[in-house]
Amino acid sequence: METKESYAVVTGASQGLGKAFAESLAKKKINVILISLPNQNLEALSLEIAEIYDVKTQYYEVDLSINENIFKLTEWLNNSFNIHILINNAGLGGTRKFLDATPHYINTILQVNITATSLITHQLLPNLLSQPKAYILNVSSMAAFSPIGFKTVYPASKTFIHSFSRGLHEELKDTNVFVSVVNPGAMKTNIDVCKRIEKQGFLGKLTLLDPNKVARYCIDRLFKRDSVIMVNPISWLFMKVLPIWIKLPLMTNAIKKEIEA
């Protein structure tokens, strides 16, 4: 395929915030390439978006926890398309005692959240730099601003994403590529996630977000060149005001309730 048409790339696009990003871009008549794991009905979603919003869509099913797959993906993207928007949304969370976590569980979170985001950005950056105007949006988390017991690896990985994005933004500020990072909280991606978050108690219910609203807001702020996007002022105020010795046990206890439930 040698189309060389301009597209936006969205990883983790089969559901939740990634799907909402793809639809929000398509509403703006931007062609989209959906990236997600196999067996996620990605082809059907790609066709649906193309039909509803009258844009061109492509899709690619891949496990981003394997580095070789990332290089195959980015080679295909660079050889076939002009990429003017990259949204690194794919990420893994999880809640369990660190002692109970398997090496595979730990490694997969680090590979998808940190390595895949870094390598995809690195491999697509020359393509982005060759466009008249381009954007990178990395999805971090409110968890980036505090360690959390029973999650341990996930908040640390999102701290990396936030720092990586801010550094890259500064490095590329005099180029045509604008880099932004969003730090959302928990989202109503499906019924199971909503039930799990609500088991955390009042704090969990208070911070649940609608992914469609988050996506629309993020795309708007990205095009307005907002380098750090905050979508939940309550969570942000909570993270900024409370000292670590208060918020760390508070958030850890909320997560512990989720495990016990």
- What is the spatial distance between Cα 176 and Cα 62, in angstroms, rounded to a whole number? 29
- What is the spatial distance between Cα 58 and Cα 53, in angstroms, rounded to a whole number? 14
Is residue 60 among the annotated active site residues? no
Structure tokens at 237: 């105020």
H or E element at residue 90:
none
Residues contacting residue 51 through CB under 8 Å, at least 6 positions apart: none
Helix 153-171 crosses helix 117-129 at what angle (to 10 degrees)?
A: 20
Q: Which one from 53, 60, 154, 217 is the annotated catalytic residue?
A: 154
Structure tokens at 96: 């369990």
Cα angle, residue 230 at apex, residues 229 and 231 outer, rounded to 5°: 115
CB atoms within 10 A of CB 181: 25
Q: What is the DSSP letter of 55?
A: -
Positions annotated as catalytic residues are: 154
